[in-house]
Structure 1
Amino acid sequence: MSKLMDKQAAMQDFLQNHVLDRWQYDLIEIDQRYNEQKDHIESSFCDTFDELCTQAFMQQQQGSKGEIHTIYVSYLRTGIMENCATYRIDAYDENWFLDRTECSVLWDAYFIFAPLFERVKKLEKIKSAYARKITSMDIERIKQMEAIKYHLLAVEFMRSMVPVLLESPGYRQMTKSPKICLFAGEYRDQCEVLYQNPDSVNEETSGAGA
């Protein structure tokens, strides 16, 4: 890199040569890791979900939790900063975020994010060639930017597991709303639907057309 580059030019060069599109090469590693550890990865996610539902059921038995309306899987940016690919899964009753009885578990999606964390370590070493124009703070911002792509992979994995989750013992015994929804997104922020009871969707559609 030329020493005459300003920070903006240095960042553009850094992104172009060491960041952009590099995540696509990680897909091969993620797919391989998944295929090698498929049973463990899937059972770990299912067991974690079942643990959440069982916890909610026990709270319902104690009278501290109403029927579950929402299960929310949260992507935690703070964890990514620490190379921790942990998702928080919460079960809420009709009070949604005002539900005062906490019911949550943690799930580790490291099999998806591991290649990202390794790539960022290499970027830390590469930045030394840019005469301090690329800082560790810049690397952290790049990491958060890239992590969204891996989060989308995690969401697709979760969505693929929904049919199995709905058959888990904890979910089946837990008292739930006919309109229960499963969401995934940033903690108490923008999210997308993983599952919505099809019967409730049909009811709303019929009502709208009446």
Structure 2
Amino acid sequence: MNRKDSLKHFYAEQVEPERVRLMEDLRRTLESRSTELTEEYMEHFREYIKEVALAQEVRTKEKIAYIQYSILRTEVLGGAMNVLVEACDSSWLLDRRPVRAFYSAQWAYECVERMIERLKQTLASYQGAVTAVELEGIRLQQVPLVNRYLVYFIRRCGYLLEDMELHLQMKLEQNFEVRVGEYLDASECVFRLDQRERSIEEIGEELEESNGIAVMYAHFQRLSMVEMECSDLDFRFSRFENIDLKLTDFQRCMLVGTRWRNCEMEGVNFSNSLIYGADFSGCSLQGAVFRGVVGDIGHPEGLVQGPGYDAVNFKNSNLKGADFRGADLRGANFSGANLVDTLWNNANIEGAIFDNAEGRTGLSNTFA
């Protein structure tokens, strides 16, 4: 083979399988070291916001609107994965005086290095057509993939930020975000704290003006949304906290990764919505309608392109009389939930967890 054919063969037969193996390595690392890595991240975050608060105390920094995590490709080439962290004012990336620090994501870099080392072992069979220089480019090509896992990991850690009362530890703008991405490139919101005092009418106007885009990654709290029409909207990764949602219509919505905390949701209609990774734990969902929802654990249709979705979480929720007919909730967590009089015809709940669920005994063979 000439060099062009050798490179084509190398990428198809060596690099692509190793990329799949890298994703499995990243997943397994986050799973097996979850407690350790989460504790390390939270320690980093606590120390970092102390630095931010100190800068505000000496008046070198005003209110913070963003904390931005940025993967630096120069760091990757240098043999590490130190992620730049910047606390910025409302001008965000244009802030000329961000409070800077680094977060070490060496756990991710080590996974990439294991991939590179395995590829090195195959170079001899290409008789010099593929060199070690090529591997440097391959290492950088994995940065966008690693970023997906970093987004997934820091978003999960973001659940722990909810109880930290961040507004008491540093001065924040009313709308505050933690974001993750590549340096001076696209980034994704992984945590939002919205302290604006808004009426439901103002939120409705905002949704109408933005064609529903405003609800992505949003934070709703202390509202009454009883019987509100919210169908066909994209609420992905939004957080609902202390909200009365009785009889609200969420039909055909994108509810991927949503988090519902201390919400009253009796009679809510979620029919035909996508609820991958949603967390309804501890919520009151009596008589709620989940007909035809899709929210199985892992990767939709088995397509592995990054982190899979967590199981939908109904732990300790009140689901008395809820309707799950035709739902796909494989792997969902119903432990400790009230499942009295729930409907399950044609539901797919393979691998679901029902430990200590009330009403579990005597339900249909769907659970078998």
- TM-score band (shorter)? 0.7 to 0.9
Determine if the alignment matches structure 1 residue 43 to structure 2 residue 39.
yes
More strand by share: 1
AA at the equivalent of 2:175: K
Provide the residue aligned with 1:206 in structure 2: 205
- Does the Cα contact within 8 Å between 2:84 and 2:102 map onto a contact in 1? yes
Deviations 1:104-134 (A, max 9, x none): 2211222233122022123234223323221
In structure 1, C-alpha distance between the alignment counterparts of 2:206 and 2:11, rounded to whole Å: 51
Q: Secondary structure at the match of 2:16?
A: coil
Deviation, 1:72, is 0.4
Change in 2 beyond 3 A, CA 1:33/1:95 = closer
198-207 or 186-195, which moves further after superposition?
A: 198-207
Q: 2:105 aligns with which of 90, 109, 114?
A: 109
191-200 or 156-165, which moves further after superposition?
A: 191-200
Deviations 1:42-93 (A, max 9, x none): 1111111122211111111111111001110101111211331221111011
Q: What is the RMSD of the two structures over their aligned residues, measured on CA atoms? A: 2.5
Q: How many residues align?
A: 206
Provide the residue aligned with 2:2 in structure 1: 6
Q: 1:167 aligns with which of 146, 163, 166?
A: 163
Deviations 1:20-52 (A, max 9, x none): 032333444444443443322111111111222
**For structure 1, which runs of at least 5 residues remain unmatched after alignment?**
none
AA at the equivalent of 1:106: F
In structure 1, C-alpha distance between the alignment counterparts of 2:142 and 2:103, rounded to whole Å: 20
Change in 2 beyond 3 A, CA 1:34/1:139 = same
In structure 1, C-alpha distance between the alignment counterparts of 2:134 and 2:204, rounded to whole Å: 47
Provide the residue aligned with 1:93 in structure 2: 89
In structure 2, C-alpha distance between the alignment counterparts of 1:92 and 1:74, rounded to whole Å: 13
In structure 2, C-alpha distance between the alignment counterparts of 1:38 and 1:10, rounded to whole Å: 40
In structure 2, C-alpha distance between the alignment counterparts of 1:171 and 1:14, rounded to whole Å: 52
5 Å-filtered alignment, 1:1-210, equals: 5-168=1-164, 172-198=168-194, 206-207=205-206, 209=208
Deviation, 1:196, is 3.0
- Does the Cα contact within 8 Å between 2:174 and 2:194 map onto a contact in 1? no
- Does the Cα contact within 8 Å between 2:22 and 2:115 map onto a contact in 1? no
18-27 or 29-38, which moves further after superposition?
A: 29-38
- Does the Cα contact within 8 Å between 2:81 and 2:106 map onto a contact in 1? yes
- Does the Cα contact within 8 Å between 1:50 and 1:171 map onto a contact in 2? no
AA at the equivalent of 1:50: R
Could you say which structure has the greater relative contact order, defined with CA pairs below 8 angstroms and 6 or more residues apart?
Answer: 1
Change in 2 beyond 3 A, CA 1:208/1:136 = same
Q: Flag the structure with larger Rg.
A: 2
Deviation, 1:152, is 0.9
Counting aligned pairs with the same residue, the percent is 18
Provide the residue aligned with 2:246 in structure 1: none
In structure 1, C-alpha distance between the alignment counterparts of 2:136 and 2:203, rounded to whole Å: 44
AA at the equivalent of 1:181: E
Question: What is the TM-score with the length of structure 1 in the denominator?
Answer: 0.84
Change in 2 beyond 3 A, CA 1:199/1:79 = same
**For structure 2, which runs of at least 5 residues remain unmatched after alignment?**
210-368
In structure 2, C-alpha distance between the alignment counterparts of 1:115 and 1:95, rounded to whole Å: 35
Deviation, 1:102, is 3.6
